[in-house]
Amino acid sequence: MTFKQFLLDYGEHVPGYDVGVINEREARAAAGILFMLGMIVIFVGIGYNHVIVARVYLAFLFLDFTIRIFTPRYAPSLLLGRFFVQNQKPEYVGALQKRFAWTMGWLIAIPMMDWFVLHWDITFYKVLICVLCLSLMFLESAVSVCVGCKIYELLMREDAQHCPGGSCEIRIKEPVQTFNPIQKAITAAVLVALAVGVYLFLAKTPSRTFFGEFLHEMVLTQQQLDKEEEAKMEAEFNREDDDF
């Protein structure tokens, strides 16, 4: 096999499709499994203060994406996804754009192997990389949005073939996909409420970790931070007066 064949001959060859394809149901299930495991790792790390689970998870993630970019047929997470959706009708999507997206995941996993598996050197910005990875998995599993596939389409300057949910094809939305005014208002209200709720939580809730403190400082203006600092100094001064 030549290098060109290795690059282009990827995915499963299914009658009726002129390019290699991936079963999107398996891919979404795998993304959901990895996302769930990632959230469990975060809760265990915070609740039990153990780093071994994070190291094992990230090593598995790196191995899984390494296998994916060579052959998705034997990637552990995709096989787990196949197990759970084996009785569902396959939904085929173009394999090359999925390979590009998984290569992005592999590139993200490389520095995480150094930061958290080979060495444990945690910082806020490194944690953000992990959050980014989990966010991409969530988008793929929950709403079938493959960010890497969209980037592939932009870089290649050509339309990707066989996108999830048929999103590549130009078509008119069916009535069940549209919003009436009341539905628009409800959706907008929920989004605004979520945004306000997150802001109020980060701005008003006392932080107990460096990560939470960083987020708290990010959402406040310098004037608000100065006011908080003045309040802390005043409270400390009053406490000292009470001691005397």
* Beta-strand relationship, 21-23 and 92-94: antiparallel
Query: For the residues of the chain, what is the DSSP string, one character each?
Result: --HHHHHHS-SB--TT-SS-EEEHHHHHHHHHHHHHHHHHHHHHHHHH--SHHHHHHHHHHHHHHHHHHH-GGG-HHHHHHHHHHTTSPP-EEEHHHHHHHHHHHHHHHHHHIIIIIIS----HHHHHHHHHHHHHHHHHHHH---HHHHHHHHHHTS--SS-GGGTTS--PPPGGGS--HHHHHHHHHHHHHHHHHHHHHHHHSPP-SHHHHHHHHHHS-HHHHHHHHHHHHHHHHHHHHHH-
pLDDT of residue 85: 92
pLDDT confidence band for 164 (50 / 70 / 90)? low
pLDDT of residue 190: 94
CA 68/CA 72 separation, integer angstroms? 4
Q: pLDDT tens across 165-194, in order?
A: 655 665 677 787 788 899 999 999 999 999
pLDDT of residue 209: 67
> Residue 79: is its pLDDT beyond 90?
yes
Which range of 3-17, 56-70, 201-215 scores highest in mean pLDDT? It is: 56-70
Mean pLDDT for all residues in the chain: 83
Contact 91, 167 (CB under 8 A): no
- CA 193 to chain CA centroid, Å, is 22
CA 198/CA 192 separation, integer angstroms? 10
Q: Which residue has the higher pLDDT, 76 or 153?
A: 76
Q: pLDDT tens across 131-143, in order?
A: 888 999 999 898 8
pLDDT of residue 185: 94
What does the block give as tokens for 211?
A: 């990560």
Contact 160, 152 (CB under 8 A): yes
pLDDT of residue 20: 85
pLDDT of residue 193: 95
In this prediction the pTM is: 0.76
Residue/partner pairs of 207-214 with CB below 8 Å, 24 or more apart: 210/124, 211/124, 211/127, 214/124
Q: Averaged over 113-118, what is the pLDDT?
A: 89
pLDDT of residue 176: 78
pLDDT of residue 7: 61
Q: pLDDT tens across 203-214, in order?
A: 887 776 666 777
pLDDT confidence band for 4 (50 / 70 / 90)? low
